[in-house]
Amino acid sequence: MLRLAEMKDMTDWIRLNREFMDFEIQDNNLWNNIDLAENEELAEVFAEALKSPENIAIFMIEDGGKTIGFANLVKIFSVWSEGFALMIDDLYLADEYQGRGYGTKVMEEIEDYARRNNFKRLQFQSEESNPKAKAFYTKIGYRPAAMSFYVRYL
């Protein structure tokens, strides 16, 4: 179901990221620095990410040879986890595949990847305006940590 992305995945990754951005941007202005009209900008981001496997892992989610989602993961060092942690920056599964067990399987595979690669913690954020995501993560055993997320675009 999960496999590491390759350059041949760029078109699918861009398409799915645009779907994801359309969903995320609809209810607030938090992610306002991406120009949705610019596929070229997303292509550059994808290519740059693939050049940094020591810091970034992009997974394509597939079912029966069809790409149905992606996961963008960032590797960080954390004193609080006493080593390296894996942060899910983005996880997207196309609407028609949600609620059918794919998300649970994807999270299990991400956890397995983290364990195999000696990460001490898996972490991510989920917007308060996404009750489906909150319900899903709670259902599979994750608990929210009360923190604030601060952003300044440079």
Give the model confidence (pLDDT) of 141-153 as tens digits.
998 888 877 877 7
At 96 the pLDDT is: 94
Beta strands in 1-154 (DSSP E): 2-4, 56-63, 66-78, 83-93, 121-124
At 25 the pLDDT is: 61
Query: Residue ranges of the chain with pLDDT lower than 70?
Result: 23-38
What whole-number distance in Å separates Cα of residue 19 and Cα of residue 1?
20
What whole-number distance in Å separates Cα of residue 135 and Cα of residue 15?
26
For domain 2-139, say whether CATH 3.40.1830.10 is its number.
no
Residue found by looking up tokens 């319900």 in the block: 135
Q: What is the DSSP string of 5-43?
A: --GGGHHHHHHHHHHHHHHHHTT-STTTT--TT-HHHHH
What is the pairing mode between strands 83-93 and 121-124?
A: parallel
CA dihedral 122, 125, 128, 130 (to 10 degrees): -80
Q: Which residues contact 70 (CB under 8 A, 6 or more apart)?
A: 5, 12, 13, 16, 17, 58, 59, 60, 61, 90, 91, 92
At 100 the pLDDT is: 94
State pTM to two decimals: 0.85
Sorted by where each begins, the domain ranges of the chain are 2-139
At 150 the pLDDT is: 80
At 148 the pLDDT is: 79
